[in-house]
């Protein structure tokens, strides 16, 4: 589902910018009244990507690929719900307390890495925020696409213009996340990237992994509860019974 989102969101952003540039005056640039200081996407940027105000084509691509994005997101939400994987994206109070240590380690101020589970506190917040942005992207997109038929939804967003504003800035948020995400993947090395593609991590010489936990660890990476989570569950079930 991660890899489905990659090409789908690329087409969505490209076609969305084509729709966006159909308005000759950048509505979300910076300026006062009729005096425009600058556009978020200047002409050279749009011309390089071949956007050139082809509104009908942009709408066609955006509408069709939008359904792939929405369906993929719905299936992923069901998957997280059924497996309990949603817990990986909701930081606990203990996870939040580790955020300063994580940031200090990322900026090379602190050498010792903080303890973490599948994701650290910063990752949980950022990935959780991306999932939330995906929800707002779909809902605000429907509000823009069918403002009359879905008038109550459009009203929830404060009207058509407000929904359009939210939709645009969610897209900017996606683009910022992509840059940071790819930078972090590059920093983690080729091995980490290959593990994202294959689902397996190649351990180097001297790596110490208890044999009895290897299979459990692979299962945990696939989104099922980790060994520790299962132990906690068993303890809580015993206490309940």
Domain hosting 89: range is 84-188
DSSP letters spanning 91-125: --HHHHHTHHHHHHHHTTS--SPPP-SSS-HHHHH
Total-model pTM:
0.68
The answer to whether 54 and 14 have CB atoms below 8 angstroms apart is no
* Residue 139 sits in the same domain as residue 171: yes
Higher pLDDT, 154 or 213: 154
Asked if residue 102 belongs to a domain, the reply is yes
* Residue 123 sits in the same domain as residue 147: yes
* Residue 116 sits in the same domain as residue 44: no
119 to 69, 86, 89, 116, 166: CA distances (angstroms): 24, 12, 8, 6, 28
Asked if residue 91 belongs to a domain, the reply is yes
Q: What is the pLDDT of residues 163-219, one digit of tens each?
A: 988 998 999 899 999 888 888 888 877 777 777 777 777 766 666 554 444 444 444
Radius of gyration of the chain (CA): 22
* Residue 58 sits in the same domain as residue 102: no
Of 165, 188, 211, which closes a domain?
188
Return the structure tokens found at 222.
């696939």
What confidence score (pLDDT) does residue 37 get? 55
For the ranges 95-99, 131-135, 220-224, the lowest mean pLDDT is seen at 220-224
What confidence score (pLDDT) does residue 18 get? 80
For the ranges 18-27, 73-82, 124-133, 226-235, the lowest mean pLDDT is seen at 226-235
Q: What is the pLDDT of residues 79-127, one digit of tens each?
A: 999 999 898 888 888 888 888 888 888 887 888 877 777 788 888 888 9
User: Mean of the pLDDT values across residues 27-46?
Assistant: 60
Of 10, 34, 68, which closes a domain?
68
What confidence score (pLDDT) does residue 65 get? 94
Asked if residue 218 belongs to a domain, the reply is no
What confidence score (pLDDT) does residue 144 get? 92
* Residue 182 sits in the same domain as residue 128: yes
Q: How far apart are CA 9 and CA 2, in angstroms?
A: 11
Q: Which residue bears the tokens 């929830």?
A: 156
Q: C-alpha angle with apex 135: 6 to 194, nearest 5 degrees? A: 25
Q: Is 32 helix (H, G, I), strand (E, B) or coil?
A: strand
Asked if residue 227 belongs to a domain, the reply is no
* Residue 61 sits in the same domain as residue 90: no
- Res. 134 pLDDT band, cuts 50 70 90: very high
User: Mean of the pLDDT values across residues 136-140?
Assistant: 95
What confidence score (pLDDT) does residue 77 get? 93
Asked if residue 233 belongs to a domain, the reply is no
Q: Is 202 helix (H, G, I), strand (E, B) or coil?
A: coil
- Domain count for the chain: 2
Of 169, 188, 207, which closes a domain?
188
* Residue 54 sits in the same domain as residue 109: no
What confidence score (pLDDT) does residue 228 get? 43
Q: What is the pLDDT of residues 50-80, one digit of tens each?
A: 666 678 888 999 999 999 999 999 999 999 9
Asked if residue 47 belongs to a domain, the reply is yes
The answer to whether 73 and 27 have CB atoms below 8 angstroms apart is no
User: Mean of the pLDDT values across residues 8-28?
Assistant: 77
Nearest to 15 by CA among 41, 53, 68, 43: 53
């Amino acid at each position: 589902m991660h890899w489905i989102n990659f090409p789908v969101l690329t087409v969505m952003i490209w076609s969305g910018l084509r729709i966006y540039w159909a308005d000759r005056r950048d509505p979300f640039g910076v300026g006062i009244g009729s005096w425009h200081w600058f556009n978020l996407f200047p002409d050279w940027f749009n011309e390089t990507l071949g956007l050139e105000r082809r509104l009908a084509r942009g709408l066609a691509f955006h509408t069709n690929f939008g359904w792939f994005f929405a369906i993929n997101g719905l299936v992923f939400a069901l998957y997280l719900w059924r497996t309990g994987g949603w817990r990986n994206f909701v930081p606990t109070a203990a996870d939040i307390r580790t955020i300063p240590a994580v940031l200090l380690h990322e900026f090379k101020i602190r050498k010792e890495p903080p303890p973490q589970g599948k994701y650290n506190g910063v990752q949980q917040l950022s990935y959780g925020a991306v999932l939330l942005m995906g929800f707002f992207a779909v809902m605000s997109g429907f509000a823009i696409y069918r403002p009359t038929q879905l008038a109550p939804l459009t009203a929830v967003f404060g009207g058509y213009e407000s929904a359009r504003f939210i939709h645009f800035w969610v897209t900017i948020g996606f683009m910022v996340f992509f840059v940071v995400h790819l930078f972090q993947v590059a920093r983690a090395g080729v091995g980490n990237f290959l593990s994202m593609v294959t689902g397996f991590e190649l351990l180097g010489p001297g790596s110490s992994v208890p044999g009895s936990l290897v299979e459990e660890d692979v299962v945990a990476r696939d989104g099922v509860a980790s060994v520790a989570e299962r132990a906690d569950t068993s303890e809580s079930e015993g206490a309940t019974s």
